Homo-oligomer: A and B are copies of this chain.
């Protein structure tokens, strides 16, 4: 059914989806700008929060997660994310975003004019709270094989 008035379930779904996309974008912007405070605000303040960096074991709880991002940011001179294959799925106050992170980086090893890159796949699960959507789970993993996304 069309929903020309912009209200009703379809409009509400669109509104929630845009909120989730915005907070997912804010997450990657926090990494790009090395903004540790912004990163902290995006996470659920709960011991159940879990973060899996590519190739790493899980980090659990707000303080260990925050320390892990401080380390990532300290070792990254330049990083930029180009997200592709972004899919949002919302169920009962929980939203999942899966996306491919196409990453462009520069660091001490590559030098000022050379950039490295890579591809990871991320699952970001957000919980709706009184303060907005907050990250419950971030799981990123390196893409080693060629998938169907390459057809794009």
Across the interface, do B89 and A91 meet the contact criterion of CB distance under 8 Å? no
- Copies of the chain in the assembly: 2
Segment with Cβ contacts to B, from A4-12, A20-28, A32-40, A52-60: A52-60
Residue of B nearest to A141 (CB): B141
Smallest beta-carbon distance A61→chain B, Å? 10
Q: Bound state CA distance, A54 and B141, in angstroms?
A: 8
Known: A56-B143, A60-B87. A50 touches B93 (CB 8 A): no
Q: Does A123 contact B (CB under 8 A)?
A: yes
Across the interface, do B56 and A145 meet the contact criterion of CB distance under 8 Å? yes
Decide if the interface of chain A is mainly helix, strand, loop or mixed. Answer: strand
Across the interface, do A91 and B139 meet the contact criterion of CB distance under 8 Å? no
Known contacts A50-B98, A58-B149; can you find 11 more A-B pairs with CB under 8 A? A52-B98, A52-B121, A55-B142, A57-B148, A57-B149, A58-B100, A91-B93, A91-B127, A92-B93, A139-B139, A139-B141
